[in-house]
Each structure stands twice: as structure tokens, then as C-alpha cells.
Amino acid sequence: MNEQRVNMPLLGEQLPELQVVTTHGPMNIPGDLKGSWFVLFSHPADFTPVCTTEFVAFQKRYDQFKALGCKLVGLSIDQVFSHIKWIQWIRSELKVEIEFPVIAANDSIAMKLGMLHPGKGTNTVRAVFVVDPTGKVRLIMYYPQEIGRNIDEIVRAVKALQISEKGCALPAGWPNNELIKDRVIVPPPNNITEADKRREQYESFDWWFCHKSLDN
């Protein structure tokens, strides 16, 4: 029996180059977004209830993403005319203006990103790719069609990724962690000399679990 293989970029890999048609005109992704963080997210289909709630939720947080220097790009296997009509419906009926582009993808584009799964036809799963300014995939989330995403978590993830580039790690639920609240974790030492100094340098539970304020 032949099994359909789902291909997708891995964390740390370059997002595949995609020449696409969008509601904002033709785009080359990630090329046209180089130098900026962006979130590429897929939805199963236009004019569906869960997807509509997600688009409104993304737009409601548009300014939060913008403050992080992060752009939004939607995607599904629908014609651009369908995207336009759906966006017009959201504006007319829900009084929400969708400001980000939406890609009119085809099966080939969706397969490059692992957005088509066996048994789901041409409906893309709810995938999220957070891509850094160099075009590298830094975070991937996949949700089934039946479950709407938590957009606040995507905002938090982008913010955390950007902070982690300062040489620290972020605890569970940051910035509301049960143990260290909004503090960040100091990377563990890689030799015994540094290990012996750690508890003098930072607040800690032990030499391998040291933490500090984000400002330090």
C-alpha cells in the first residue's frame, strides 16, 4: 500500500521559496519579507466558522504583532476571488478590516509546507510557521481542523523567540511562570569552573537552574 508522505520544513531550516498570488498581489515568500519576522498560517477554507473566528482574532492582535516587527500572512487552497469575497464579508458583517495578505495556494504550495494531510482532501490543516528575518523557520504549530488556535499564544511565542536571541531561555507559561514569574533562565554552564560560580552570580535553585530579570 502506498502511503502519502507529508513533507514540511524543520525547525532551523529555510522556509521554501514560494511564488504566490495573494489578496495584496503577487508575493515571493520569504524573499519579500526578508528582514522581518512573520507568521505564516493556514486555514482549511474560506467561509467556515472556525476559520472566521481565527481571522478576526489575528486581526484583533494585528497591532501587537506589528509592535514586535512581525507580519502576518494567511493561506488556504481557495481562489483569490474567494479570499476577497470572504474578507469583504468579514468587513461588512463583523466590522473587522483584515489588513494582512491571504495566499491563494494550490496543492503544490501546501504540500511543500506539509499543510495537506492524508484523508483531509484539499483542506489545509491549521498550521503556523513563525519565521525569523533570515527566512529560517523558528517555530511550528499544527492544529486539527476542528480546533481553533489560541492567537495569544502565537503572540507570546514570537515575543519569546525574540527574547531568546539575547542568550536566554524562557520558562513554561512565561511571563507568568509558577516558579520564576517573568524572569528568564540563564543557559547552564558547560564546565565545572563556571558551575561553581553560578550560584554567586545569579538567583538560582541550583547551579543548573539559574534565573535573572530580563533587564540584566
H-run or E-run covering 137: strand 137-143
For residues 128 and 27, membership in a common domain is answered with yes
145 and 170 co-located in one domain: no
CATH label of the domain that carries residue 85: 3.40.30.10
The per-residue pLDDT for 3 is 45
Assess contact for 24 and 101: CB atoms under 8 A: yes
Whether 127 and 195 share a structural domain: no
pLDDT band with cut points at 50, 70 and 90 for residue 174:
very high
Same domain, residue pair 24 and 56: yes
Average pLDDT value for residue range 163-191: 96
Angle value at C-alpha 189, between 183 and 194, nearest 5 degrees: 110
Condensed to tens digits (0 to 9), the pLDDT of residues 71-105 reads 999 998 889 999 999 999 999 999 999 999 999 98
Considering the domain boundaries, does residue 36 fall inside one?
A: yes
Positions of E strands within 52-136: 70-76, 102-104, 126-131
* Number of domains, the chain: 2
Calculate mean pLDDT across residues 95-124: 79
Cell numbers given for 56: 478576526
Residue 6 maps to a domain: no
**Whether 138 and 174 share a structural domain:** no
Residue 120 has pLDDT above 70, yes or no: no
What is the domain extent for residue 182? 166-216
Per-residue pLDDT, 9: 86
| More confident position, 5 or 57 | 57
Shared-domain flag, residues 200 and 139: no
Q: How many other C-beta atoms are found inside a 10 Å radius of the C-beta of residue 113?
A: 24
pLDDT tens digits, one per residue of 25-75? 999 999 999 999 999 999 989 999 999 999 999 999 999 999 999 999 999
Tell whether the model's pLDDT for residue 1 goes beyond 50.
Answer: no
Active-site amino acid positions: 51
User: Which long-range CB contacts under 8 A does 109-113 form with residues at least 24 apart?
Assistant: 109/18, 109/20, 109/75, 110/42, 110/75, 110/77, 111/6, 111/7, 112/7, 112/16, 112/18, 113/8, 113/9, 113/16, 113/40, 113/42
Within-domain flag for 7: no
Give the pLDDT band of residue 2 (cuts 50, 70, 90): very low
